[in-house]
Amino acid sequence: MADIVIQLLPHILAALVYAALGFHFWNTRWRESDTQSVARPMQTWERTAIGGALLIHAFGLQDALFSEAGMRFSFSFALSLMMWLAVLIYWLESFMSRMEGMQPMVLPLAAACTAAPVLFPNVHVVAHANALGFKLHFLAAMLAYSLLTLSALHAIFMGFTENALHKRLLKRSLTSLPPLLAMESLLFRMLLLGFTLLTLAVGSGVFFSETLFGKPLAFDHKTLFAFASWGIFATLLIGRHAWGWRGKRALRWTLSGFALLILAYVGSRFVAEVLLGR
């Protein structure tokens, strides 16, 4: 028990730092106040604090996932890894664009997902994890999940921002966000890159299933959800290029694709590991 607690300590610490930073950004960027300026750029110490939380989180993931027995994984570690990559992407983007207004949304979610392995610590050893092909497949899948998770969060905030602007509600939280056109441009960059990585992950799983997993491809609910999600994102990107889809239509398609993607792995693993105890 003591070994498990020590192993999960970085996750606990990272979750606490994410939560504290999430509250800080809400208090300084979203909370209405007459005594503070409306728009406040991200400070150097804030970027450093997020970077420190990412390092602690990365150390915890590396120590928990890789052991002498092989690679260990579970739905809780999938959530944790996805949000680590998501926070990393936003952190890197903050050096080029104003991202401080997005942090009160991303960091609390990161705190919750980072704490997931503490609540659900059971893991299973992944077969064929030492094969290079599997590592590339796994990396592409996790990056795709992270980018498309961010895309879904981004789309929600774009809808929220657009609705508030139409109602002429000028709140402090809105002024801390990037311009709507900049958010839309970033959304479709993330969607395109996420879709490309998802294509690599799905394609490698389809054509090299026996090499990667030691068995032929099974057309189960996980596979069907993954294909359906891929089709939705493909349609959205084609619609954007061909017919200029944006706004609420892009929001609906992004969230639909993301929901199916989550069901494809995280949902199925949650049912298997937590509800069915496998």
Q: What is the pLDDT of residues 43-101, one digit of tens each?
A: 899 999 999 999 999 998 888 777 666 677 777 888 888 889 889 988 988 888 777 77
Quick one: pLDDT band at residue 273, thresholds 50, 70, 90? very low
User: Bigger pLDDT: 92 or 217?
Assistant: 92
Question: What pLDDT shows up at residue 87?
Answer: 92
Q: Are residues 169 and 255 in the same domain?
A: yes
Cβ pair 127, 73 in contact under 8 A: no
* 223-228: long-range pairs with CB below 8 Å, 24+: 223/264, 225/260, 225/261, 225/263, 225/264, 225/267, 225/268, 226/202, 226/260, 226/261, 226/264, 226/265, 227/202, 228/260
- Distance, in Å, from the CA atom of 21 to the CA atom of 103, rounded to the nearest integer, reads 8
* Domain shared by 5 and 122, yes or no: yes
- How does residue 168 score in pLDDT terms, banded at 50, 70 and 90? low
State whether 72 and 31 are in the same domain: yes
Q: Are 105 and 190 part of one and the same domain?
A: no
Task: Rank 86-95, 203-212, 265-274 by mean pLDDT and report only the highest.
Answer: 86-95
- CA–CA distances in Å: residue 114 to residues 15, 154, 211, 216: 5, 20, 32, 33
Q: Which one has a higher pLDDT value, 189 or 169?
A: 189
Highest mean pLDDT among 58-67, 142-151, 248-257, 261-270: 248-257
Sequence letter at residue 28: T
Record the tokens describing residue 86, joined without a space: 């998501």
State which of 126, 161, 192 marks the end of a domain: 126
Q: What is the pLDDT of residue 78?
A: 80
From the list 18, 3, 137, the residue with the least C-alpha distance to 71 is 137
Between 36-40, 71-75, 179-183, 232-236, the lowest mean confidence (pLDDT) is in 36-40
What region, left, alpha or beta, does residue 70 occupy, with left being phi > 0 and alpha being psi -120 to 50 degrees?
left
Which residue would you say has higher pLDDT here, 22 or 226? 22
pLDDT at 217 over 80: no
- DSSP H helices in the chain: 2-25, 44-65, 75-93, 103-119, 132-166, 172-175, 180-207, 209-213, 221-243, 247-262, 268-270
Query: Do residues 6 and 77 lie in contact, with contact meaning Cβ atoms separated by under 8 Å?
Result: no
Measure the CA–CA gap between 54 and 18, rounded to whole angstroms. 9
Looking at the whole model, is its pTM more than 0.95?
Answer: no
Listed residues 78, 101, 126: the one ending a domain: 126
Residues 108 and 137 in one domain: no
Residue in this structure with the two tokens 């990056």, named with its chain if needed: 143
Domain of residue 89 covers 1-126
Question: Which tokens go with 105?
Answer: 């949304």
Instruction: Evaluate whether 141 touches 229 at the Cβ level (below 8 Å).
Output: no
Same domain, 135 and 270: yes
Judged against a pLDDT cut of 50, whether residue 197 lies above it is answered with yes
Q: Is the pLDDT of residue 171 over 80?
A: no
- Lowest mean pLDDT of 75-84, 159-168, 198-207, name the range: 159-168
DSSP run (H or E) holding 263: none
Q: What is the mean pLDDT of residues 14-43?
A: 81
CA-nearest of 145, 144, 59, 50 to 93 is: 50
Residue ending a domain, choose from 107, 126, 145: 126
Q: What digits encode the pLDDT tens for the residues 89-140?
A: 889 888 887 777 778 888 999 999 999 888 887 766 766 666 777 777 777 8
Per the structure block, which two tokens stand in for 249? Answer: 């239509």
Q: What is the mean pLDDT of the chain?
A: 79
- For residues 103 and 139, membership in a common domain is answered with no
What is the distance between the alpha carbons of residues 24 and 131, in angstroms, rounded to a whole number? 43
Amino acid at 106: V
The CA-to-CA distance between both ends of the chain, in Å, stands at 21
pLDDT score for 55: 96
